[in-house]
Structure 1
Amino acid sequence: MSAVSSSLRLLHAGWLLAGPARAFRAGSPDAGAKLSVALEKLGPAYIKLGQMLATRPDIVGAGMASALEHLQDRLPPFSDVEARSQITRAFGKPVEALFSSFGGALAAASIAQVHRAQTSDAPPVRVAVKILRPGVREQFARDLQALAFFAKTAENFSAEARRLRFTAIVATLAASVALELDLRMEAAAAGELYESTKGEAEFRVPHIDWTRTSASVLTSEWIDGILLRDTAA
Structure 2
Amino acid sequence: MAEATTHTARYREIATVLRRHSLGFMVGLLGIGRLVPFRRGNGGRNGARTRAIDTGTAAQSNGETSPEHLRLALEELGPTFIKLGQLLSTRSDLLPPAYVEELAKLQDAAPPVPVADIRAVIRRELGSEPEELFATFDDRPLASASIGQAHAATLDDGTPVVVKVRRPGAVARVLEDLEILQNLAARASRRWGPARDIDAAGVVDEFAQTLRAELDYLQEGRNAERFAEDFAHEADVVIPRVFWEHTTSRVLTLERMRGMNVGDAVALDAAGVDRKRVARRGAEIVLKMTFEDRFFHADLHPGNLFIHDDGTIALIDFGMVGAIGEELRGHLSTLFVALVRGNPAMLAGALTSLS
Q: What TM-score range do you get, normalising by the shorter chain?
A: 0.7 to 0.9
Give 1:35 shift.
Answer: 4.9
Which one of the candidate residues 173, 180, 183 is aligned to 1:149?
183
Higher RCO (C-alpha under 8 Å, 6+ residues apart):
1
Which residue of 1 is the match for residue 212 of structure 2? Answer: 178
Q: TM-score, normalised by structure 2?
A: 0.56
Which one of the candidate residues 53, 70, 74 is aligned to 1:39?
74
Give 1:139 shift.
Answer: 0.7
Which residue of 2 is the match for residue 187 of structure 1? Answer: 221
Q: Is 1:228 paired with 2:262?
A: yes
Which residue of 2 is the match for residue 101 of structure 1? Answer: 136
What letter matches 1:97 in structure 2?
E
Deviations 1:61-92 (A, max 9, x none): 68625632xx13x4332222221112112122
1:184 alignment partner, SS class: helix
Which residue of 2 is the match for residue 130 of structure 1? Answer: 164
1:18 alignment partner, SS class: coil
Q: Which runs of 5+ in 1 are unaligned?
A: none
Give 1:3 shift.
Answer: 1.5
50-59 or 74-83, larger mean C-alpha shift: 50-59
Q: Is 1:59 paired with 2:97?
A: yes
CA distance in structure 2 between the partners assigned to 1:65 and 1:165 by the alignment: 20
1:25 alignment partner, SS class: coil
Which one of the candidate residues 114, 117, 121 is aligned to 1:82?
117
CA distance in structure 1 between the partners assigned to 2:179 and 2:103 by the alignment: 27
What letter matches 2:256 in structure 1?
W
CA distance in structure 1 between the partners assigned to 2:198 and 2:172 by the alignment: 28
Give 1:54 shift.
Answer: 5.0
What letter matches 1:197 in structure 2?
F
CA distance in structure 2 between the partners assigned to 1:111 and 1:169 by the alignment: 21
Deviations 1:87-133 (A, max 9, x none): 112122221221121111112222222211112x2x23210111212
Counting only pairs closer than 5 Å after superposition, residues 10-21 of structure 1 correspond to structure 2 as 10-18=14-22
1:60 alignment partner, SS class: helix
What letter matches 1:14 in structure 2?
L
CA RMSD of aligned residues (A): 3.0
Q: Is 1:203 paired with 2:229?
A: no
Which one of the candidate residues 193, 198, 215 is aligned to 1:164?
198
What letter matches 2:16 in structure 1?
H
1:168 alignment partner, SS class: helix
Deviations 1:4-56 (A, max 9, x none): 4164243134224427x98x73389xx77665543332111111123335556
Q: TM-score, normalised by structure 1?
A: 0.82
- The answer to whether the Cα contact below 8 Å between 2:161 and 2:254 also exists between their aligned partners in 1 is yes
CA distance in structure 2 between the partners assigned to 1:118 and 1:35 by the alignment: 41
2:150 alignment partner, SS class: strand
Going from structure 1 to structure 2, the CA distance change for 1:155 and 1:63 (only over 3 Å counts) comes to closer
1:114 alignment partner, SS class: strand
- The answer to whether the Cα contact below 8 Å between 1:144 and 1:174 also exists between their aligned partners in 2 is yes
CA distance in structure 2 between the partners assigned to 1:76 and 1:41 by the alignment: 13
As a proportion of its length, which structure holds more helix?
Answer: 1
2:222 alignment partner, SS class: helix
